[in-house]
Amino acid sequence: MEALRFQLNKVKRLLKVQGQEFVFDRYKVNDFNEPTDETDSQIKLIGVYHETVSYQQKTAADGSITQSKASPMILCQWEDAEKLRTTDKLEFNGSIYIIGGIKNIGEANIIADISLEELTHG
């Protein structure tokens, strides 16, 4: 139990020093449960933006090419991430993102990593 409190304290310190506010928009849904253009509410949380790099290898007859792709993520407290849904949108640095997934790190309900997917059409 002490270790969990220690981890939570470390994350709170990180968020206090390097965190920034992220505002996710939640949109109203129509009769078919599809999102509309009207904003229903906003969810605010403090997090740290970071990226992970994944590598894709394409093989051809004469060789292979390895490409890297950055995946944007936000590290935050689990209690804040629990409020989000995968249909919520985030505008950050001129791009619009939807939530690709929310990972409960270590299944300890302390820290969450929110993976983001950039929308190309808005």
The CATH number assigned to the domain with range 2-118 reads: 2.40.10
Token pair recorded at residue 55: 């590598």
Torsion of CA 73, 74, 77, 83, to 10 degrees: -90
Phi, psi of 81 (to 5 degrees): -65, -30
Phi-psi region of 18 (alpha: psi -120 to 50; beta: other; left: phi over 0): alpha
Give me the residue spans of the domains in the chain. Answer: 2-118
Closest CA relative to residue 1, chosen from 108, 122, 111, 99: 108
Torsion of CA 100, 95, 40, 88, to 10 degrees: 0
Instruction: Give the up-direction half-sphere exposure of residue 78: CA atoms within 13 A in the CB hemisphere.
Output: 13
When the pLDDT of each residue in the chain is averaged and rounded to a whole number, the result is 88
| In the predicted structure, residue 122 carries a pLDDT above the cut 60 | no
pLDDT, tens digit, for every residue of 66-121? 777 788 999 999 999 999 998 899 999 999 999 999 999 888 888 999 999 998 86
pTM tops 0.75: yes
Spatial separation of the C-alpha atoms in residues 18 and 8, rounded to whole Å: 15
Spatial separation of the C-alpha atoms in residues 98 and 16, rounded to whole Å: 25
pLDDT, tens digit, for every residue of 29-57? 888 988 788 888 999 999 999 998 877 77
